[in-house]
Structure 1
């Protein structure tokens, strides 16, 4: 057997995108919610008509009992409470936009979820970490011999970050 005929070994130390890593964890959860893939959630801002791309988000896709019918599934949307009435009236327009995006009848009707949707609720900023005076003094003493100002600041930031990790784990800084 020639060297070129050998199959390429499976790499275990390759870089992977965050989407690939999360796919294994998200897919089973999405399947329980009726989604065959992440497409409708991932591309919602592109496929949904304005302003529903910003005030609503897909929650569940319910297929009729038995076989998947030609009428499509019922898409359950979470929405901002003030837009519920408009979405209830524009359900056919939203379903048509989704079906146009996919090129086949996926959604037959749109319903509203009892759970509200709050845009930007996932974006929470943490307060910047302020190391204790003891940690600041310890890191400062260790960096006293570093002459380059930029390097000293980078090392100071690193030292404070590492001390915050050890403090959060119950260690001493």
Structure 2
């Protein structure tokens, strides 16, 4: 299974691609960021198009089986939350437009899965992602978060599969299904 992790942001969107092999072996494929800083800050539609196109290009290049996207949190600044939500929407729309299943995880869930506690600092997430994927250097904050989301889904999908095999009928509620 190939997983594309996306950490949405209006200025910088992180991405990470992992392959999950036999025995849940994780293999790093790629990571990086999509920057929208080349577009004027006031030109929101152009920035969203840049994100949409960038995510589409990643989907075409790496051919993932599923995408794991961070759920937007509401912060103190409502305007910032709305802008982040629009950036996230552009990313999710690009994935769904390519018929890619999308699962969602909160930052807390990702930090818990990667670092062992939900209040882990960005540097801790970077260090754990580097260690778990045996990378020669720590990825950038945004790329590390995206890889962390992919790692989270690799672990969660195994648990869901085991539950389904054991006869449980419930599936992950955060997955967008076709025609929904």
Q: Is this a same-fold pair by TM over 0.5?
A: no
Larger relative contact order, structure 1 or 2 (CA cutoff 8 Å, min sep 6): 2
- TM-score normalised by L of structure 2: 0.22
**Structure label with greater radius of gyration:** 1
- TM-score normalised by L of structure 1: 0.22
